[in-house]
Amino acid sequence: MDFAGRSVVLTGVGREGQVGEAVATAFAELGARVFLVDRQESEARARADALVASGRRAAGLGVDLTDENAVAALAERVRDATGGRVHALVHLAGGFVSSGPVVESDSALWNRQFALNATTAYLTARAFLPLLRASKGALVFFASEAVLPGGRTAGMSAYASSKSALVALMQSIAQEEAPRGVRANAVAPTSIGTAANLAAMGPDAAYVTREDVAKVVLWLCSEEARAVNGQTIPVR
C-alpha cells in the first residue's frame, strides 16, 4: 500500500499510546500527509510534531467535533491546505462510559454518548464528503464489537446504541456515495491494547494490538479495498 502524495484526515488522535497514534503513524510512514484532529489541540500537535521530527508530513488541529460550526471551519481549513482533495477520512473520535442497567441509567449520559460517538461522526462525515468525492476516497468509522451479532451490551446500552447508530450512518453514506466513487466502512475491534486500556484492565486481558487495527484501516483506505463498501469489519 502506498499513500504517497495523499491527504488523510484522522479524528481522535490525541493522547500518546492510543490507537489513533498508531493509525496516524502507519499512514505517515507510507507517505501520506496526515491531519490529526483532537479536542485538545496540544495533544494533536504533540502527535503531529513527533511525526514531523521523523521526517513525515503532519499537522495537528484542535476542534470540538460536537460543534457544527467548528467542524465546518475545520473542513474549510483542510480544503484550503489540500486543494479540496482528501483521500481518506478516519473517524476515531468517540468515547466509552459504562451506563449500567437501563432501568438505573442516566439520560444525560445517554445523550453524551450519542454526542461523542454518533453526532461527531455525522458532522465530520457531512463536512468532509465533498473533499472525499473529489478524490473518490474512503471513509472509515470506528464501531465496536458490541455492535456485532451476539456482542456483549449489558451495562453499556448508551455506548452500544450510539455505536449502532454510527454503523447505520456508515451504511447510509456507503449507499448514497457509491455512485460518486466514495466508499464507507467501519471497523469493530475488540479491546485494543492502548495505554488507557492497559491501565484500566491490566496486561493480562485479551487485546488486539494497535498496529493490527491500523493495518485493517489502511487496507480499507487503499486501492486494494476499492470494492469493499458498507461493511463492518471485526478486528479480533
Q: Is 172 exposed, middle or buried (0-12, 13-18, 19+ CB in 10 A)?
A: middle
Q: Is the dihedral of CA 190, 193, 194, 196 positive or negative?
A: positive
User: Is pLDDT above 90 for 190?
Assistant: no
- CA 229/CA 227 separation, integer angstroms: 6
User: By the 8 A CB rule, do 133 and 127 touch?
Assistant: no
Q: Which of 9-18, 80-89, 172-181, 188-197 has the lowest mean pLDDT?
A: 188-197
What is the share, in percent, of the chain residues with pLDDT greater than 70?
Answer: 100
Say if 1 falls within a structural domain: no
Cell numbers for 120, please give them: 461527531
Q: What is the DSSP letter of 116?
A: I
**Residue range 7-12: mean pLDDT, rounded:** 98
Say if 200 falls within a structural domain: yes
Say if 25 falls within a structural domain: yes
Query: Which amino acid would we find at residue 174?
Result: A
Say if 2 falls within a structural domain: no
**Residue range 100-105: mean pLDDT, rounded:** 97
Q: Which of 85-89, 96-100, 114-118 has the lowest mean pLDDT?
A: 96-100
**Residue range 4-21: mean pLDDT, rounded:** 95
Please give the tally of structural domains in the chain. 1
Q: Residue 184 — pLDDT band, cuts 50, 70, 90?
A: very high
Say if 130 falls within a structural domain: yes
Q: What is the DSSP letter of 224?
A: G
Q: Tell me which H or E stretch contains 137.
A: none
Say if 161 falls within a structural domain: yes
Crossing angle of helices 19-29 and 41-53, in 10° steps, is 40
- CA 21/CA 185 separation, integer angstroms: 20
Q: Return the CATH number at 93.
A: 3.40.50.720
What is the pLDDT at residue 204?
A: 79
* E strands, 85-173, in order: 88-91, 138-142
- CA of residue 25 relative to chain centroid, distance: 14
User: Is pLDDT above 90 for 203?
Assistant: no
- Structural domain harbouring 64: 7-235
What is the pLDDT at residue 206?
A: 83
- CA of residue 180 relative to chain centroid, distance: 22
- CA 164/CA 158 separation, integer angstroms: 10
User: By the 8 A CB rule, do 2 and 25 touch?
Assistant: no
**pLDDT single digits (tens) 45-71:** 999 999 999 999 999 999 999 999 999
- CA 220/CA 137 separation, integer angstroms: 10
**Residue range 98-111: mean pLDDT, rounded:** 97
**pLDDT single digits (tens) 123-168:** 999 999 999 999 999 999 999 999 999 999 999 999 999 999 999 9
User: By the 8 A CB rule, do 94 and 12 touch?
Assistant: yes
What is the pLDDT at residue 151?
A: 92
User: By the 8 A CB rule, do 106 and 150 touch?
Assistant: no
**Residue range 103-124: mean pLDDT, rounded:** 98
- CA of residue 177 relative to chain centroid, distance: 18
